[in-house]
Amino acid sequence: PASVVVSGTGFHFRPPRHWINDPNGPMYYNGIYHLFYQFNPKGSVWGNIVWAHSVSTDLINWVALEPAIYPTKPFDIYGCWSGSATILPGNKPVILYTGVVDTQQRQVQNIAFPKNLSDPYLREWVKPDYNPVILPEEGVNASAFRDPTTAWRGPSGHWKILVGSKRNKRGIALLYRSRDFIHWVKAKHSLHTAKGTGMWECPDFYPVSVKGSHGLETSFYGEGVKHVLKNSLDVTRYEYYTVGSYDHVKDKYVPDGTSPDDNTGLRYDYGNFYASKTFFDAKKNRRILWGWANESDYVDDDIAKGWAGVQTIPRAVWLDTSGRQLVQWPIEELESLRGKHIVVTNKKVSSSGLWEVKGIDSSQADVEVTFEISGLEKAEPFDPSWATDAEALCGRKRADVKGGVGPFGLHVLASAELEETTAVFFRIFKAEHKHVVLMCHDPTRSSMRPKVYKPTFAGFVDVDIAKTGKISLRSLIDHSVVESFGAGGKTCITSRVYPSLALGKNAHLFVFNNGLANVKVSTLKAWEIRKPLMNGA
Ligand code: DQQ
């Protein structure tokens, strides 16, 4: 097969050319959404990093502007790395970002302001000469000192931020305080640390409401609030978060302990999703999550196709009613791109059943389906040792491994004869006192192309399946991106896949059941997704 036939993506955020990584400084300001991101203006591999800049009025259609922050001064001459925006009182946006100062990649934190607040797009940013505003002091590892968060303000009037770091293999979220946003002092105690995780990149820390799906401004404090701390682990390339309590006076964060805060903990997304960042959207009173989905093809392919990396579809994020985890859902604005659609109702998927969903072009689509499970008697027994590694379990029990209840789900980006497919599915097990629901992405057969990395990804879904008897799945399909949301967004998985046959009109969509028990599709809706304005891509 030809090695570089990769079609572009349709509705995922990316520039027309070159390498992108972390989303930076997302914000809503005077009616405009801003997204900055790590960008190499010279090629489709990582390097020469600047803050590229795009603006939008709906988070879906994007217009690219000139890069906003790029190396010019000793305090950022080797790179302008990740950081965050804060809207200061008086409606004044400000950015804190990491500057790389030498070839050993030693890091400092810098501040930048819009040059002209009356420019609706805030095109130009100024980096005052008094930068850097934070230097790595005694005892801080200068090459592991980066990615300042959005600031929050405590009852004392102090601003506070986190900076990611490590000491030996301990991940650290350093805490800094400032009265004026320019002079910052390191707090004696870090906000949180965990042993054995390695470097904490791109920390994020924010309040969530214990009731309802609305978001809270980052400085919010009061009753009925929990906090979320997320870190990106550069060793595993996965992110983990905890839900906990934060004391604004003592600056103490205590995770609830409902999930571990290491490599076995909760994740926003159990797939290819990294360096994420949230922001509070004052327009719609919600908190929105951006994450980066890297390529998983071969570097030579990225060079040949001339671009690499996308941002996932922005997701609203809030605390689940259980209080134990977050829930995520693609922003409602995405639905404005829905075009031609089809509906299937009350259709059985018998044991070993397979049927095609016809009538739409499914290479750029949005699919929502609800499966009804008639009985759980046939569920496979669950070995408790599997509980800490969903991914390994999915690797062993892939879509083609027969089960009791499930695997059932979708074949997306599939060729007509299923030589190629990315399987998105559930498998239900019987544990001692409950049922365990596993959600998987199995791209083992996603591409006939050589050298493509095709990892299986998986997470458990915290639902009482015996009680509800049904489970929903939504998949956003975009040529080389599959983003799936299980049980209304309780478990999310993103994959990058590179079909060589299942391209464009040759991409098919199937429903399958490879378990002994019958299941039923109570409803399936699938829409073609139109291409928005995407930075000229
Ligand atoms: N990417 C940036 C760093 C960050 C890493 C450099 C995470 O600031 O730690 O491009 O992907």
* pLDDT averaged over 10-residue windows placed end to end, the chain, 537 residues: 60 97 98 98 97 98 98 98 98 98 98 98 98 95 98 96 97 98 97 95 98 98 95 94 96 89 86 98 98 94 94 98 97 98 98 97 98 95 95 97 98 98 98 96 96 95 96 98 98 97 97 97 98 95
Q: What is the pLDDT of residue 1?
A: 34
- Residue 532 neighbours by CB under 8 Å, 6+ apart: 11, 60, 61, 62, 337
User: What ranges do the domains of the chain cover?
Assistant: 18-330, 337-529
Q: Per CATH, which fold does 18-330 belong to?
A: Tachylectin-2; Chain A (2.115.10)
Would you state the pLDDT for residue 7?
Answer: 64
Q: Which residues line ligand 1 (CB under 6 A)?
A: 21-22, 38, 49, 81-82, 98, 146-147, 201-202, 274-275
Helix or strand (DSSP H, E) at 305: helix 299-305
Strands of 154-285, DSSP E: 159-167, 170-178, 185-186, 192-194, 200-209, 225-233, 238-247, 252-255, 274-281
**22 in active site:** yes
What pLDDT is recorded for position 243? 96
Q: Could you identify the atom of ligand 1 that is nearest to the CA of residue 38?
A: 10
Please give the pLDDT value at position 3. 41
CA–CA–CA angle 93, 97, 98 (5° rounding): 170
Nearest-CA residue for ligand 1 atom 6 is 81
The architecture in CATH of the region 337-529 reads Sandwich (2.60)
Q: Kindly report the pTM of this predicted structure.
A: 0.97
Reported in sequence order, the residue ranges of 462-516 that DSSP labels E, i.e. its strands, are 470-478, 481-486, 491-496, 508-513
- Predicted complex ipTM: 0.99
Atom of ligand 1 at shortest range from CA of 164: 9
Q: Cα separation of 227 and 191, whole Å? A: 12
Instruction: Tell how far the Cα of 172 is from the centroid of ligand 1, in angstroms.
Output: 16
Q: Which atom of ligand 1 is nearest to the CA of 202?
A: 9
Distance, CA of 377 to CA of 242 (rounded, Å): 34
Q: Which of 46, 96, 172, 201 to mutate to test the pocket of ligand 1 (most atoms within 8 A of CB)?
A: 201
